[in-house]
Amino acid sequence: MRGLEYEYMAGSGAPPPIALSRSELLDAWAEAWSDSRDGRDESDTVLVMEGEEEETATARDVEAEEDDNPRPKKDPKGERWRGRPKSSSGALPRNAWWRNSKNCFEVDQICHRRKGNEWFYYPTPQQYEYNEDGQDDYNALFQPNMELKSAPAKYDGGKNTGDKRISIKVSSSSKFEAVELTFEEDDLAFVKTDSNDDRCQVSPSKVHVVLQSVFNDMIGEFYSRTLLGLYLLMKKGVDANGNDGGKLPWEEVIQFYVHIPYGNKNVLDGHKLLLSGMLSNPDSPSPKSFLDLFVREEGKHDDDDCQCYEKMVFCGYDVYTHENNVLSKDLEPAVDSDFSEDIVEEDLLISVEDNAPVSLSSTKYTLWSTTSVGKAGHDGCGRSSPDGEEYACLEWKELRLHLGANLLTHYPTLKGDVVEKRRDYLLEKGVIDKGYRGNTNEFTVIGLTQRTYRRAWSNLPDILEECNAAAFERVICVEVNVEKTSSPSEQLILHRSLDVMIGVHGAQLTQAVLLPPHAHVLELLPWITDYIQSQCEPLNLDIIFIFTKSKLGYCFISGGGWVATTHVPTPLGVIFHNTDLNHLGYSLDRSSVPLCEGVPKDQEKQCFMSQKKKFIWENRDFTVESSAILRYIDKFVLFVREKDRTCDELKDTLDKKFVMYNIWCVKPNYWFRGTSEGEDDCIHGSGYSIDHTDSSNKDLFLFDKREDCCNRFYPLCQTKIQNIQHSSENTTLSLWHNYQPLTKASKIDKKQQDAEQ
Q: How confident is the model at residue 300 (pLDDT cuts 50, 70, 90)?
A: low
Same domain, 716 and 627: no
pLDDT of 65 strictly over 70: no
Neighbouring residues of 479: CB distance < 8 A, sequence distance ≥ 6: 447, 448, 450, 460, 464
Share of the chain above pLDDT 70, in %: 73
User: What pLDDT is recorded for position 606?
Assistant: 85
pLDDT per residue over 475-488, tens digit each?
Answer: 999 999 999 999 99
| 345: in domain | no
Together in a domain, 431 and 361: no
Range with lowest mean pLDDT among 469-473, 475-479, 686-690: 686-690
Q: Is the pLDDT of residue 302 over 70?
A: no
One-letter identity of residue 397: K
Q: In the structure, what pLDDT confidence band is assigned to residue 3 with cuts at 50, 70 and 90?
A: very low
- Where is pLDDT greater, at 694 or 575? 575
For position 736, what pLDDT does the model report?
A: 94
pLDDT digits (tens, 9 = 90+) for 632-676: 999 999 999 999 999 999 998 999 999 999 999 999 999 998 887
Give pLDDT, residue 695: 84
d(CA 371, CA 374): 9
Q: Would you say residue 147 lies in a domain? A: yes
Instruction: For residues 723 and 744, state if they share a domain.
Output: no
pLDDT at 753 over 60: no
Residues 296, 425 share a domain: no
Residue 352 pLDDT more than 60? Answer: no
pLDDT of residue 277: 97
Phi/psi of residue 172, nearest 5 degrees = -70, -20
Q: Are 285 and 185 in contact (CB under 8 A)?
A: no
The CA distance from 15 to 13, in Å, is 7
Note the pLDDT of residue 726: 62
531 within some domain:
yes
Highest mean pLDDT among 30-39, 92-101, 234-243: 92-101
Nearest 10 degrees: CA dihedral of 45, 48, 49, 51? Answer: -170
Q: How far is CA 327 from CA 53, 321, 738, in A?
A: 15, 12, 57
| pLDDT tens-digit readout, 247-262 | 899 999 999 999 999 9
User: What is the pLDDT averaged over residues 505-510?
Assistant: 90
Question: Could you tell me if residue 15 is inside a domain?
Answer: yes
- Confidence band of 411 (pLDDT split at 50, 70, 90): very high
Same structural domain for residues 358 and 505? no
| Ranges 7-16, 512-521, 746-755: which has the least confidence | 7-16
> If you average pLDDT over residues 720-740, what whole number do you get?
77
Contact by Cβ (8 Å): 449, 504: yes
pLDDT score recorded for residue 716: 77
Answer whether residue 553 is part of any domain: yes
Q: Which of 16-25, 552-561, 661-670 has the lowest mean pLDDT?
A: 16-25
* Residue range 358-399, pLDDT digits in tens: 456 789 999 999 999 986 545 568 776 655 577 888 999 999
Supply the DSSP string of 355-405, one letter for each residue: T----TTTEEEEEEE-S-SS--SSTTTTTTPPTTTTTT--HHHHHHHHHHH
Query: Are 25 and 112 contained in the same domain?
Result: no
- 736 vs 360: which has the higher pLDDT: 736
- 7 domain residue, yes or no: yes
Q: Which amino acid does the sequence have at 649?
A: E
Q: Are 569 and 661 in contact (CB under 8 A)?
A: yes
CA distance 663 to 520: 9
The most confident of the ranges 329-343, 486-500, 668-682 is 486-500
Position 32 confidence tier, pLDDT thresholds 50, 70, 90: very low
Average pLDDT over residues 274-289: 96
pLDDT of residue 517: 97
- Give Rg (Cα) of the chain: 29
On whether both 435 and 459 belong to a single domain, the answer is yes
Who contacts 333 (Cβ-Cβ below 8 Å, separation ≥6)? Answer: 75, 76, 77
**More confident call, 548 vs 441:** 441
pLDDT winner (highest mean) among 20-34, 144-158, 584-598, 654-668: 654-668
395 is a domain residue: no
User: How many Å apart are CA 256 and CA 234, to the nearest integer?
Assistant: 14
Residue 599 resides in a domain = yes
Whether the pLDDT of residue 437 is over 70: the answer is: yes
**Domain coverage including residue 135:** 79-88+100-331+353-369
Label residue 222 by pLDDT band (50, 70, 90).
Answer: very high
Residues 749 and 692 in one domain: no
The pLDDT of residue 64 is 42
Q: Contact at 8 Å (CB) between 426 and 434?
A: no
Instruction: Characterise 430 by phi-psi region: left (phi > 0), alpha (psi -120 to 50), beta (else).
Output: left
| pLDDT at position 138 | 45
Domain count, the chain: 4
Cis peptide, bond prior to residue 249, ω within 30 of zero: no
The pLDDT assigned to 130 comes to: 45
Instruction: State mean pLDDT over 28-34.
Output: 40
Taking the CB of residue 223, how many other CB atoms lie within 10 A of it? 24
Report pLDDT for 25: 40
Q: Which of 206-215, 428-437, 510-519, 695-704 has the lowest mean pLDDT?
A: 695-704
pLDDT value, residue 240: 56
Q: Are residues 11 and 26 in the same domain?
A: yes
User: Does residue 507 sit in the same domain as residue 652?
Assistant: yes
pLDDT of residue 653: 94
Same domain, 632 and 685: no
Q: For 633-669, where are the alpha helices, taking DSSP H only?
A: 638-642, 647-651
Higher pLDDT, 215 or 302: 215
Q: Which of the pair, 84 or 366, is modelled with greater confidence?
A: 366
Check pLDDT > 80 for residue 690: yes
pLDDT at 319 over 50: yes
Cβ atoms of 122 and 176 within 8 Å: the answer is yes
Q: Are residues 687 and 746 in the same domain?
A: no
> What is the model's pLDDT at position 743?
56
**What is the per-residue pLDDT for 90?**
59
Of the listed ranges 298-302, 579-583, 626-630, the least confidently predicted one is 298-302
